[in-house]
């Protein structure tokens, strides 16, 4: 007779082959069982499809990674504990001391600080360049340039960078090109098909789409993804199976969600553009956007992000921000709920007037992440909030 501890640990651990689930279950296990030593050796030698340890790979996580590779038409994809986990792991895998990383100046703050405050300590030189310089990379490259990191559309003005041009310039110099494709998402933009080497996203945003998972991903050719996977094992920036399950579930409705985000954002942008109280609207789908032509060439849809300006006046922006009722005041983007932020107190917090000017950001700007609510209600909410100004 076995003792109660042995029974409770081992009894009832059923034959999994008898229960075949329709959906991929959450493999809530840190480690996997082998039948004998030969199986472990086969695993070590890459001759086995078995799993060893969840920091390396886990079936729930792999299932999501295969979905992500499929939508980016990539040979391979990896997930991470966050978008920043993805960024840090990609950079640690592909750059070393002495290398220069060229980065669009209009970049997510976390990426900027990772390069400027952390990777610089490891001998990596970040070089932040303007949109104009980004369009003429050939003039910017140095002998030490290893990698170009950029976003398009950028935050919060949704200015777009010609992705094919960046890809061509990098290929010609043997420089690695990496895009943070978070704002567009895989549904609206396919950077790998345009020649970019690696496409990264914060899965926290449109990929999961429900504001309840923090995650990151990268997709690309196996030869470039393999070193990132190796680095992920060492850095431990792996995604846990539980959020991976939620992400996989979110992904299943992504095409439908993004279609609605795009349609709602276009309707909101048109409403704002037609309203005299609004001095400027930034949406890549509007003919008035400075990069509308680039966006048309490289985007499949124009996305769910809209930015608008109220004469550069913070007092006006603050009043409208505070008055919104359906649209929630919260950072982040890409979820089903519409969110609003004021760039000067979030992404551009602490910037000097000169820095704001360089980023094309004014104190009167509001950024919307347009959600999946009924668009008439969103427009009515914006209308009443704009009306509270008088
Ligand atoms: C464009 C962009 N990239 C990366 C990140 C970082 O992602 P995460 O918060 O999942 O680490 C964010 C987060 O807001 C983002 O907006």
Share of the chain above pLDDT 70, in %: 100
Burial of 14 (0-12, 13-18, 19+ CB in 10 A): exposed
Instruction: Round to whole Å and give the CA distance between 351 and 360.
Output: 12
Choosing from 165, 205, 316, 363, the catalytic residue is: 205
275 is known as an active-site residue? no
Residue 22 has pLDDT above 80, yes or no: yes
User: Does domain 37-252 match CATH 3.30.1950.10?
Assistant: no
Phi, psi dihedrals of residue 254, rounded to the nearest 5°: -60, -45
In this prediction the pTM is 0.97
CA neighbours within 13 Å on the CB side: how many for 275? 22
Neighbour order of strands in the sheet with 100-104: 76-80, 216-220, 198-202, 176-180, 145-151, 100-104, 125-129
Q: What is the pLDDT of residue 230?
A: 98
Instruction: Round to whole Å and give the CA distance between 89 and 238.
Output: 10
Using the structure block, give the residue that is written with the tokens 């086969």. Answer: 42
Here the tokens at position 236 are: 């431990």
37-252 and 255-387 share one fold: no
Q: What is the DSSP letter of 115?
A: I
From its phi and psi, is residue 204 left (phi > 0), alpha (psi between -120 and 50) or beta? Answer: alpha
Contacts 24+ apart (CB under 8 A), 348-354: 348/156
Collapsing DSSP to helix, strand or coil, 134 comes out as helix
- For 269-325, how does the pLDDT look when each residue is reduced to its tens digit (9 = 90+)? 999 999 999 999 999 999 999 999 999 999 999 999 999 999 999 999 999 999 999
Q: What is the pLDDT of residue 280?
A: 98
Instruction: Round to whole Å and give the CA distance between 128 and 163.
Output: 17
Q: Is the CB of 214 under 6 A from ligand 1?
A: yes
pLDDT level of residue 344 (50, 70, 90 thresholds): very high
Instruction: Round to whole Å and give the CA distance between 225 and 233.
Output: 13
Cis peptide before 153 (omega within 30 of 0): yes
Phi, psi dihedrals of residue 104, rounded to the nearest 5°: -60, 135
Residue 183 has pLDDT above 90, yes or no: yes
Using the structure block, give the residue that is written with the tokens 């390396």. Answer: 56
Q: What does the longest C-alpha to C-alpha distance in the chain come to?
A: 83
In this prediction, residues 181-190 reach a mean pLDDT of 98
Phi, psi dihedrals of residue 347, rounded to the nearest 5°: -60, -30
Q: Per-domain residue ranges for the chain?
A: 37-252, 255-387
pLDDT level of residue 390 (50, 70, 90 thresholds): low
User: Mutate which of 204, 304, 339 to test ligand 1's pocket (most atoms within 8 Å of Cβ)?
Assistant: 204
212 is known as an active-site residue? no
- For 52-70, how does the pLDDT look when each residue is reduced to its tens digit (9 = 90+)? 999 999 999 999 999 999 9
Q: What is the pLDDT of residue 19?
A: 87
In ligand 1, which atom is closest to the CA atom of 332?
Answer: 14
Using the structure block, give the residue that is written with the tokens 């109280």. Answer: 277
In ligand 1, which atom is closest to the CA atom of 203?
Answer: 10
Please identify, in words, the CATH class of the domain defined by 255-387.
alpha beta
Instruction: Round to whole Å and give the CA distance between 218 and 226.
Output: 11
Q: Are strands 198-202 and 176-180 parallel, antiparallel or unpaired?
A: parallel
Q: Is the CB of 346 under 6 A from ligand 1?
A: no
Q: What is the pLDDT of residue 90?
A: 98
Instruction: Round to whole Å and give the CA distance between 213 and 26.
Output: 15
**Please, what is the average pLDDT of the chain?**
96
Neighbour order of strands in the sheet with 305-309: 280-282, 305-309, 365-369, 339-341, 328-329
């Amino acid at each position: 007779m076995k003792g109660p501890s042995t029974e409770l640990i081992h009894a009832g651990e059923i034959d999994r082959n008898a229960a075949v689930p329709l959906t991929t279950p959450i493999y809530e296990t840190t480690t996997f069982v082998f039948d004998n030593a030969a199986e472990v050796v086969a695993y070590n030698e890459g001759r086995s499809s078995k799993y060893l340890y969840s920091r390396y790979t886990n079936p729930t996580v792999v299932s999501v990674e295969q979905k992500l590779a499929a939508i980016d038409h990539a040979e391979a994809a990896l997930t991470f504990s966050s978008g920043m986990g993805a960024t840090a792991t990609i950079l640690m895998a592909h750059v070393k001391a002495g290398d220069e990383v060229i980065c669009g100046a209009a970049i997510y703050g976390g990426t900027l600080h990772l390069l400027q405050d952390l990777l610089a300590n490891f001998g990596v030189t970040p070089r932040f360049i303007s949109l104009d310089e980004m369009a003429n990379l050939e003039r910017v490259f140095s002998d030490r340039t290893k990698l170009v990191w950029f976003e398009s559309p950028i935050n919060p003005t949704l200015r777009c960078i010609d992705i094919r041009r960046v890809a061509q310039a990098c290929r010609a110099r043997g420089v690695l090109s990496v895009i943070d494709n978070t704002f567009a998402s895989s549904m609206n933009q396919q950077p790998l098909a345009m020649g970019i080497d690696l496409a990264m996203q914060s899965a926290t945003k449109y990929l999961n789409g429900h504001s309840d998972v923090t995650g990151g991903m990268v997709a690309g050719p196996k030869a470039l993804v393999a070193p990132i996977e190796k680095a992920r094992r060492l850095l431990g920036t792996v995604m846990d199976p539980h959020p991976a399950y939620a992400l996989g579930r979110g992904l299943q409705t992504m095409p439908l969600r993004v279609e609605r985000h795009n349609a709602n954002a276009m309707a909101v942008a048109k409403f704002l553009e037609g309203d005299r109280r609004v001095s400027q609207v930034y949406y890549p789908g509007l003919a008035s956007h400075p990069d509308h032509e680039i966006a048309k060439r490289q985007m499949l849809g124009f996305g769910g992000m809209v930015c608008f300006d109220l004469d550069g006046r913070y007092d006006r922006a603050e009043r409208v921000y505070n008055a919104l009722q359906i649209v929630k005041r919260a950072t982040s983007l890409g979820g089903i709920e519409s969110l609003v932020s004021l760039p000067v107190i979030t992404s551009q917090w602490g910037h000097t007037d000169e820095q704001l000017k360089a980023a094309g950001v004014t104190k009167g700007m509001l950024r919307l992440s347009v959600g999946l609510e009924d668009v008439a209600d969103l427009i009515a909410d914006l209308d009443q909030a704009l009306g509270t100004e008088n």
